[in-house]
Amino acid sequence: MRVEAKLLLGLGLFFGLMCAVYWNWSLENAGGVMMFAGMLLGFLPGGYYYWWSRRMKPRPEDDPNATQSGGAGVVGAFPGTSIWPFTMGMGAFLCILGAVFGIWLLLPGLSLVVWALFGGTAEGRRGGPH
């Protein structure tokens, strides 16, 4: 995870430098705040990856001499087909239409979103309908 960590930390550092120069020179707050937030977005996951890379076991994908049999086998169990993304998408669509045409549309919209949240979480835990 070293390269990933360095990439994100490097970006965070670059944005921090850019922010320092820009905000002090221009005294313009919108850009200053946005660049500062960009710096945080680099440091937060980057810092986590860096901390984690020093504690984790080496992964086959970071090993330049790895063999495919070394990484063979189960990668993970993911829900396959699922109706919940579509349901949540339709719910979000209705919520947005509610923002345009009338707040009553939030009722079916939010219902679908919440139903999809519960259904999708349960599917992930249980493994979905068999």
Partner 1 sequence: MVDVLERPGQVEEHGHEEHHGPTGLLKWLTSTDHKVIGLSYTITSVIMLVIGGAFAEIVRAQLTSPNGHVVSLAQYNELFTMHGSVMIYLFAGPFAFGALANFIVPIQIGAPDMAFPRLNALSYWLYLTGSITMLSGFFVAGGAANFGWVAYAPLSNSANTPGAGADLWIGALLLTGFSAIFTGVNLCATIFYLRAPGMTMFRMPIFTWNLLITAILILLAFPVLTAGLIMLYCDRHFGTHIYSVVGGGVPVLWQHIFWFWGHPEVYILAIPFFGMVTEIIAVFSRRPVFGYKGMIFATISIGALSLGVWAHHMFTTGVVLLPFFSIMSLLIAVPTGIKFFNWIGTMWRGQVWFSTAMLMALGFLATFLIGGLTGIYLASPPLDFFTHDTYFVVAHFHSVVMALVLAGFGGLYYWGPKITGYMLNEPLGKIQFWFLFIGTQVLTLPQYLLGLDGMPRRVAIYPNSPQWKTLNVWSSVGAVMIGVSTIIFVVNLVYSWKRYPAGDNPWDGQTLEWFTTSPPPHHNFYRLPQIRSERPTWDYNHPEHRSLAHGHHEEPVHEEVPVA
Cβ distance 23 to 32 under 8 Å? yes
Cβ distance 103 to 89 under 8 Å? no
Given its phi and psi angles, is residue 27 left (phi above 0), alpha (psi -120 to 50 degrees) or beta?
left
| Binding residue (CB under 8 A) for partner 1 from 48, 51, 56, 60 | 60
| Binding residue (CB under 8 A) for partner 1 from 89, 111, 118, 122 | 89
Does 104 bind partner 1 (CB under 8 A)? Our answer is no
The residue (of 14 and 115) whose beta carbon lies closer to partner 1 is: 14
Does 79 bind partner 1 (CB under 8 A)? Our answer is yes
Assigned token pair, 124: 């992930």
| Binding residue (CB under 8 A) for partner 1 from 57, 72, 104, 125 | 72
Does 25 bind partner 1 (CB under 8 A)? Our answer is yes
Does 74 bind partner 1 (CB under 8 A)? Our answer is yes
d(CA 93, CA 84): 14
Does 44 bind partner 1 (CB under 8 A)? Our answer is no
